[in-house]
Amino acid sequence: MSWQLNLLRPDLAGFKAYSAAAPDKNAVRLHANEVSWRRDWDHSDVGLNRYPDPMPALLVERLGRLYRVPPESVLPTRGSDDAIDVLVRAFCLAGRDAVAISSPTFGMYQVAARVQGAGVVDVPLVQSPESPFGLDVEGLSEAVSTGADSMPVKLVFVCSPNNPTGNRQATGALDALLERVGSRAIVVVDEAYQEFSGGSGLSRRAADGELLVLRTLSKAYGMAGARVGALVGPPETVALLRALLPPYLLPSPCVEAALRMTTPAALVEARARAADIVARRGSLARALARMPGVLEVYPSEGNFVLVRFGDAEAAVDSCSRAGILVRDFSRQPGLAGCVRITVGSESENERVIAALTEAVHV
């Protein structure tokens, strides 16, 4: 049994999943109270009048191949948000357990914890010339040791590359964190932006039970609207978490879209497009760095750049007047004056540069 299950909520011991109606395309389906007709405009493969496959085996196989782990180590989820939510529900009792985060980071870790009634201990990222927004390994280890208001920390969320700062956490820092935390808490590494960065290798380590990894098709694979993500971990943990999720998790059209996206030809195209985004990210960052009013452009390994402006409000307002949406993070601790700008097409990047240039001259 995976050591991670020792941290499971005690009241979930022996939990049994809801038994969903098993699909069979070749049988007469009179077992799930579906209707037998489909709309003329319904061009889905299976038909929207039918329940989706509770666990689409082909998609699981494709995702396992994509992340280089056995299929039994993959849990498809509705984006990374779903995985974050089920992890907190599985391991944290309301008012009794806590999670650790490192701000500034993705806000859903804290949201999921608060909804569950779990505590949150924040060990902010450390800024240094060598490693801006790096992990405070000592602080996280201490947080796991002491807990949050007497609540033990069950999960440590690490976003790498981090949203919104864009940096990837050093492998050495993650290794040190895993060593110091040991089996006292589960380290969860969110790799939503990994395809814009470098090789990870963490998925294999997750399958072996060292940690858990979150992946998604939303970013580099251009499927944000389909909401298909994955949790990678040891088979025992994956099976337990699957039992806690709704029986018909992914809608049929989303599964069908994910299957089309994970064909060999589609993956080749997606990787080429991701490489183009990385190239445009560099061009955008250099153009921004040359602009008056820009104090700093932080190195990024995501599909966005974080920029510190002398007047962030003016920059955001100028973009808004030009019909461009950017994300103001000025009110987050450690990000005063910072705006996150997604890397767009070449013409979109030119438009944002023009809008920001206008802001400087207003």
**Could you write out the DSSP letters of every residue in 122-136?**
E-PPBP-SSSTTB--
Contacts of 204 by beta carbon, 8 Å cutoff, 6+ apart: 68, 69
Residues 229 and 253 in one domain: yes
* First-residue to last-residue Cα distance in the chain: 63
Bridge partners (DSSP) of residue 189 are: 158, 213
**Which one of 226, 244, 262 terminates a domain?**
262
Residues 198 and 76 in one domain: yes
| 34 pLDDT higher than 90 | no
pLDDT band at residue 17 using 50, 70 and 90 as cut-offs? confident
Q: What does the pLDDT read at residue 185?
A: 97
pLDDT band at residue 199 using 50, 70 and 90 as cut-offs? low
Give the mean pLDDT of the chain.
Answer: 93
Q: What does the pLDDT read at residue 313?
A: 94
Q: What does the pLDDT read at residue 223?
A: 94
Q: Is the pLDDT higher at 150 or at 110?
A: 110
Q: Tell me the average pLDDT across 116-145.
A: 92
| 292 pLDDT higher than 80 | yes
| 21 pLDDT higher than 80 | no
Q: Which of 45-49, 142-146, 266-270, 302-306 shows the lowest per-residue confidence on average (mean pLDDT)?
A: 45-49
Residues 249 and 302 in one domain: no
Q: What does the pLDDT read at residue 289?
A: 96
Sign of the CA dihedral 18, 23, 27, 28? positive
Q: Tell me the average pLDDT across 161-166.
A: 96
Q: Tell me the average pLDDT across 37-46.
A: 89
- Tokens of residue 86, six digits: 């089920």
Residues 257 and 167 in one domain: yes
Residues 184 and 233 in one domain: yes
Q: Tell me the average pLDDT across 1-5.
A: 89
Contacts of 212 by beta carbon, 8 Å cutoff, 6+ apart: 4, 87, 186, 187, 188, 189, 206, 231, 232, 233, 237
Indicate the DSSP class of residue 337.
Answer: T
Number of folded domains that form the chain: 2
Q: Which of 19-28, 76-85, 305-314 shows the lowest per-residue confidence on average (mean pLDDT)?
A: 19-28
Q: What does the pLDDT read at residue 54?
A: 85
Residues 213 and 160 in one domain: yes
User: In CATH, what number is assigned to the domain containing residue 352?
Assistant: 3.90.1150.10
Residues 308 and 200 in one domain: no
Q: Tell me the average pLDDT across 308-316.
A: 95
Residues 252 and 301 in one domain: no
pLDDT band at residue 360 using 50, 70 and 90 as cut-offs? low
**Which one of 199, 227, 262 terminates a domain?**
262
pLDDT band at residue 358 using 50, 70 and 90 as cut-offs? confident
Q: What torsion do the CA atoms of 150, 153, 159, 164 make, to the nearest 10 degrees?
A: -20
- For residues 201 and 160, the answer to whether their CB atoms sit within 8 Å is no
Residues 188 and 291 in one domain: no
pLDDT band at residue 361 using 50, 70 and 90 as cut-offs? low
**Which one of 262, 283, 303 terminates a domain?**
262
Note the pLDDT tens digit of each residue in 321-353. 999 999 999 999 899 999 999 999 999 999 999
Cα–Cα separations (whole angstroms), residue 316 to 17, 106, 181, 306: 47, 20, 40, 13
**354 lies in which domain range?**
266-361
| 129 pLDDT higher than 90 | no
Q: Is the pLDDT higher at 311 or at 42?
A: 311
Q: What does the pLDDT read at residue 200?
A: 67
| 186 pLDDT higher than 60 | yes
pLDDT band at residue 30 using 50, 70 and 90 as cut-offs? confident
Residues 295 and 228 in one domain: no
